[in-house]
Amino acid sequence: MRFLSYELGEKEGYGILNEKNFMVIPMETLLRELNKDVPKNLLDFIRTYSDSLIGDLKEVLENIKDKGIPLKDVKITAPIKYPRRNVFCLGKNYADHAAEVKSIPSGDATIPEHPIYFTKIADPAIGHMDKIIIPKGYTEKIDYEVELAVIIGKDGKDIAYERAEDYIFGYSIGNDISARDIQTRHIQWFKGKSLDTTTSLGPFIVHKSALPFPVELNIGCRLNGEVRQDSNTRNLIFDIPTIISDLSKGLTLRAGDIILTGTPAGVGMGFDPPRFLKSGDIVECYIEKIGTLTNIIE
Ligand code: MG
C-alpha cells in the first residue's frame, strides 16, 4: 500500500493509491466504510493506527476502487509535511560516500565506528515536483543526497535489533539537500542542512508489508537525466535494525518520526571540480519499489 498526502483545490487530504487505476482513494472514504474516526492528516493516522486496521484497509480497498480521485487531478505534497520533530539523519552511512567526502567537518574519509547522527528542520518538508529555492547571496553550494527514509510506526525505546521492523510503519524517499559552504563554515551540519525547502520527501510512504525485510533496494539520483548516484540499500554501513536499536537507546522514538538513512556516492561535492545545483536543474531521486521524487531548482 502506498500512502500519500495531497491538495485538491483548497482542500488537503491523504489517502491510499490504487495502483491499477491511478486513483487516490481518500482515507476519509476508507475509514468511513469501517466506521472509524478520520485522523486529520497522515502523521496523525500513523500515530494512531493499529496493525489490524492495515488489514481492514486492504479489504476495503478491494471493494471501493471506483470511489477515488484520479492521481493526475491532485497535487502531491510531502507525505508528512510537518514532522512532529526534526528529521533524524545519518551521516556517512555508505562507504563510497564516506570516501568521497573530504571538505566538510570530520570529512576524513574514514568509515565511522558508530553511526553519525544529526537532525534537520523540515518546516515544512517539500514534496514531489516542488521547487527548491536557493537563498542567493547566502549559499553557492547546494547539493543533493538521495536517501531511503524510514517512517517509525510506534513509540519505542531500547528497541532490540531483532524487533526493529515492528516499529516501522513504512518507507519513503528523501532528498537531504545540503548547503556545503554553510556546513563547512559552522563546523556542525545542522544549519547547512536546515534551510527552507531543503528537505524533500515522497512521493509516497510504502507500507512495510509491501517490501521484504531486510530492505535491499536499488537507490539512485539523476540530475537533468544524468545518473549521479547509483547504489543499493544493502550497502548501508549501519543497517536499518542497527540504526533503530542504537538510536532508541535511552531515546524514545515516536510514531511518525522520520529517519534518513544516509546517501551513497555521487553527490556534487564529490566531483573535482564540484558540481553544485543551479537554477533550472531537475533532480530526481528514485528507489526501486517506492518511486521517484522529483524537484526543480528555482
Ligand atoms: Mg544526508
Question: If you measure from the C-alpha of residue 70 to the centroid of ligand 1, how many angstroms do you get, rounded to a whole number?
Answer: 33
pLDDT digits (tens, 9 = 90+) for 101-140: 865 555 566 788 999 999 999 999 999 999 999 999 999 9
Q: Taking Cα atoms as reference points, which of 252, 238, 294, 7 lies closest to residue 116?
A: 238
CATH number of the domain that residue 155 is part of: 3.90.850.10
Do 39 and 122 lie in a common domain? no
Q: Taking Cα atoms as reference points, which of 23, 28, 2 lies closest to residue 13?
A: 28
In one-letter notation, the amino acid at residue 293 is L
Question: If you measure from the C-alpha of residue 262 to the centroid of ligand 1, how many angstroms do you get, rounded to a whole number?
Answer: 5
Question: If you measure from the C-alpha of residue 27 to the centroid of ligand 1, how many angstroms do you get, rounded to a whole number?
Answer: 31
What rounded mean pLDDT belongs to the chain? 94
Question: If you measure from the C-alpha of residue 268 to the centroid of ligand 1, how many angstroms do you get, rounded to a whole number?
Answer: 13
* Structural element, H or E, at residue 25: strand 23-26
Question: If you measure from the C-alpha of residue 26 to the centroid of ligand 1, how many angstroms do you get, rounded to a whole number?
Answer: 32
Out of 56, 77, 98, a domain closes at 77
Question: If you measure from the C-alpha of residue 106 to the centroid of ligand 1, how many angstroms do you get, rounded to a whole number?
Answer: 14
Question: If you measure from the C-alpha of residue 207 to the centroid of ligand 1, how many angstroms do you get, rounded to a whole number?
Answer: 22
Domain around 34: 2-77
Question: If you measure from the C-alpha of residue 100 to the centroid of ligand 1, how many angstroms do you get, rounded to a whole number?
Answer: 13
pLDDT digits (tens, 9 = 90+) for 61-86: 988 867 899 999 999 999 999 999 99
Do 69 and 93 lie in a common domain? no
- According to the model, what pLDDT value does residue 143 have? 97
Q: How many domains does the chain have?
A: 2
Do 66 and 106 lie in a common domain? no
- Lowest-confidence pick of 62-66, 188-192, 280-284: 62-66
* pLDDT (average), residues 30-41: 95
Secondary structure letter of residue 115 according to DSSP: -
- Judge whether residue 256 has pLDDT over 60: yes
Do 190 and 160 lie in a common domain? yes
Question: If you measure from the C-alpha of residue 193 to the centroid of ligand 1, how many angstroms do you get, rounded to a whole number?
Answer: 8
- According to the model, what pLDDT value does residue 288 have? 97
Question: If you measure from the C-alpha of residue 174 to the centroid of ligand 1, how many angstroms do you get, rounded to a whole number?
Answer: 9
- According to the model, what pLDDT value does residue 109 have? 65
Do 33 and 107 lie in a common domain? no
Question: If you measure from the C-alpha of residue 59 to the centroid of ligand 1, how many angstroms do you get, rounded to a whole number?
Answer: 37
- Judge whether residue 289 has pLDDT over 70: yes
Beta strands in 153-261 (DSSP E): 168-176, 178-179, 199-207, 218-223, 226-232, 258-260
Question: If you measure from the C-alpha of residue 294 to the centroid of ligand 1, how many angstroms do you get, rounded to a whole number?
Answer: 17
Out of 77, 111, 144, a domain closes at 77
Question: If you measure from the C-alpha of residue 128 to the centroid of ligand 1, how many angstroms do you get, rounded to a whole number?
Answer: 18
Please give the grid coordinates belonging to residue 101.
567526502
pLDDT digits (tens, 9 = 90+) for 134-158: 999 999 999 999 999 999 999 999 9
- According to the model, what pLDDT value does residue 104 have? 57
- Judge whether residue 19 has pLDDT over 80: no
Please give the C-alpha separations between residue 92 and each of 230, 267, 281, in angstroms, as whole numbers.
Answer: 16, 12, 25
Question: If you measure from the C-alpha of residue 87 to the centroid of ligand 1, how many angstroms do you get, rounded to a whole number?
Answer: 11
Q: Check: pTM over 0.75? Answer yes or no.
A: yes
Out of 25, 46, 77, a domain closes at 77
- Judge whether residue 159 has pLDDT over 90: yes
Secondary structure letter of residue 162 according to DSSP: G
Question: If you measure from the C-alpha of residue 267 to the centroid of ligand 1, how many angstroms do you get, rounded to a whole number?
Answer: 10
